[in-house]
Amino acid sequence: MTPVKSGSRRRGRRPLPRESDTGPGRDLKAGAGHDTGQDHPAHDWSDIAVGSTVSVTPQAGPPYLGRVDAKTPDSGIVWVVSLEGSGRQMIGNRDGVSLLPAAGLPA
């Protein structure tokens, strides 16, 4: 077997994005075809404390209960651990996900 040289990776220009990748709400700096979240208003999650129980309502899929595991100082990104066993998820305040304090449940 021939050893691979350290500089043998293919280098060159990336292909230009298709016209369909440059529509409204798309930012080429963030990566072609990736939605930057500009279509959704930013949610204010500054009142939701780490450790509190929240109701998470994603854009697609059923709502679920979770516990806030961590969040950024500006509350722009929140990590939620599902109480239903589906793991930990990072949620941005422009992802179109609704996070509300779960009424009647312990924090």
Q: Is 62 or 41 the better-scoring residue by pLDDT?
A: 62
79-100 pLDDT, tens digit each = 999 999 889 999 999 999 999 9
Task: Give the separation between CA 66 and CA 53, rounded to whole angstroms.
Answer: 6
Residue 87 within any structural domain of the chain:
yes
Tell me whether residue 10 is in a domain.
no
Please check whether residue 18 lies inside any domain of the structure. Answer: no
99 touches 53 (CB < 8 A): no
For residue 93, being part of any structural domain is answered with yes
Query: Would residue 60 count as lying in a domain?
Result: yes
- Please indicate whether residue 10 or residue 101 has the higher confidence score (pLDDT): 101
**Cα separation of 4 and 37, whole Å?**
40
Q: Is the pLDDT of residue 32 over 60?
A: no
The count of structural domains within the chain is: 1
Task: Report yes or no on whether pTM surpasses 0.75.
Answer: no
Residue 37 falls within a domain, yes or no? no
In a domain, 11, yes or no: no
Tell me the residue range of the domain where 82 lies. 53-101
Confidence class of residue 40 from pLDDT cuts 50, 70 and 90? Answer: confident
Dist CA 87 CA 17 (whole Å): 34
